Structure formats: structure tokens, C-alpha cells
Structure 1
Amino acid sequence: GFTLNAIFATDIDKDLPLDQLEFTYSKKTGRIKHVIFNNKIIATLRTDGGFALTIDGAELLLKTNKIKENCIIVRNDVAEFIKEGRSVFCKHVIYAGSNIKANSDVIILDEDNNLLAVGKSVLPYNMISEFNRGVAAKVRHSIND
């Protein structure tokens, strides 16, 4: 639970079914490889110790209502491009949560709070909001994958 709180800068673990999570381990290193909930991979452990969210993981976190500050909301007119796995550009961002730093895992939503994708931020939230050009986030998994 502590690791999740550190990554997402919130007390998110209180709203998650931590006792129902399962883990797969690397045969080579013995380290955690995947976090699984209801037979679905919700996150992959990165080499830097962080979690790379999957779409299923984002759906689970969005149910907590504490993840908003880790989300990027884009204009509806670019939602289809994001669903296809295209990068999120600063000029299309309506909202960037205050927990977003450069290289943070982010959840990308449309204006109606529908999940579009998960990815990695390129810039911190304040720069995403200020800039009118450049990439705000790179999509790792989209709902059309």
C-alpha cells in the first residue's frame, strides 16, 4: 500500500482491495513482475521500482475517486487519436492533475471522464498547462489496443 501512495501521492491504498491482489515473479530475478486483480494484469513493475499501469489498472484506480490529480483530460475532438495510441499534445489538454511530474504514469481521460489511455508524462503538470506546443504525454496502452 505504501508504494502505491508514494507513486500516486495520495492515500489511495485505503480504497483498493489490497488483500485480493496477486503477484507474478520473475524467474530470473525473483522480483515482482506483474500485479494482478480478478485475473487481469493491472500493473507491471518497472526496473526503476515504479508501476506501469495497464488499462485494467487505470479502471480500478478510477473507481477510487482519489486519482484525479494523476489524470490528464483532453478535448473530445482528439479522443479518437488518443484511443489509437497517439501522443497527447499540450494544446489539447484541458486539465493536468497536480501530482503529475515529468515521467509520471498518467491516466488520460476525455472531457466526459471516459478512459482513453494510460501513458507517461513528458512534462510536469504546470508546464503542460502553460505550453501550447509539444508532447504532454506518450501513450503506453490505449483502450483500442
Structure 2
Amino acid sequence: MSDDEFRGLRRAADYQFGGGGGMALFAGPDALDVTHTSSGRPRQVHATDGRIATYGADGRFRLGLAGGNRLLDAFDAPRHRVVVGDESEPFIREGRNAFAKFVQSADSELRPGDEALVVHEDGYLLAVGRAELPGSGMDDFETGMAVKVRQGAED
């Protein structure tokens, strides 16, 4: 991977996840394996711990579990987090969606369409996905899908 491409990925991650997002996801270019589309655009970013993210055609990242864990370690709560309890944990781990009635708290800055980390109340990652409701209202809603889970942290 070229230095320009590496810096571009970091800039895009900083824009999407806020300052420090690029450093958290992409520590160094040597440890990354990037696949490209036929036009040469980055598509998948992998590291030794798994898929970090997929770079979409819209210029936004879709997190993998490895990327979710990196952001979880890099940012203090509640940033990018949706917290759920024991009742929904096994279902979310299997990759099922997180529903609003089970949300205990959420980052008030989350907007529908943002990447979200679904975490257990004890702080460990259960899944990564796309927020469907605003974070400021997730714990207020009694019905509806809070997070469309893309990948669960199945054991």
C-alpha cells in the first residue's frame, strides 16, 4: 500500500469516526492487507486480527469486528457505543439486530446511518452495525430497530 493511500484511509476514518479514528483503525501500513476493486479503489482492509473495515463506494467505512474492537479500545465510553444488557446478548452475538427496547444507553451523537458498536453493559463488544435511530432517542423508544447488526461477535 502506498503512503498516499494509507494517509487517505486514515483521513477518511478521522472524518467518519472523529479525531483519532484513523490512528485507531490503521496503526501502520505494514500490518495491513488491502484488497482493491478493478478500478484500483480500496475495498477491504484486513489485519492479522481480522477484517478491520470495508470501504464503501460512498467513501464510508463499514466496520468489521477487528475494527470495532480497535475503536472500542481507542475511544472512551459512550463514543460510538450502544449498550445492551444480558437479555439480548446471545441474539446480538449471533448477528441479530439490536432492538430499542433492549438499549440501556447510547452515544447521543449517533445519527441514523452511522457505524455503531453494540456493547454489553460490562463493556465488551457484541457486534458492529449501522444505527437506525438517533442515539439520543434509542433508550427512549420501546419499539423499533436501534442497530442493524452486520457482524456479531459469536464465540
Corresponding residue pairs, total:
144
Equivalent in 5, 12, 31 of residue 14 of structure 2: 5
Q: Aligned to 1:144, what secondary structure does the other structure show?
A: coil
Q: Is the 8 A contact 1:120 1:138 kept in 2?
A: yes
Deviation at 1:14, TM superposition (A): 4.2
Structure 1 segments, 4+ long, off by >6 Å, are: none
**Structure 1, unpaired ranges of 5+:** none
Q: 1:110 to 1:71 in 2, by over 3 A?
A: same
Residue of structure 1 in register with 2:50 after alignment: 40
Alignment of 1:104 onto 2:114: yes
Q: Which amino acid aligns with 1:97?
A: D
Alignment of 1:54 onto 2:64: yes
User: Structure 2-normalised TM-score?
Assistant: 0.83
Q: Structure 2 CA distance, aligned partners of 1:17 and 1:88?
A: 30
User: Structure 1-normalised TM-score?
Assistant: 0.88
Alignment of 1:21 onto 2:32: yes
Q: Which amino acid aligns with 2:130?
A: K
Give aligned-pair identity as a percent. Answer: 30
Q: Is the 8 A contact 1:73 1:111 kept in 2?
A: yes
**Coordinate RMSD, CA, aligned:** 1.9
Q: Is the 8 A contact 1:12 1:67 kept in 2?
A: no
Q: Structure 2 CA distance, aligned partners of 1:144 and 1:73?
A: 17
Deviation at 1:112, TM superposition (A): 0.6
Equivalent in 125, 134, 139 of residue 129 of structure 1: 139
Deviation at 1:68, TM superposition (A): 3.7
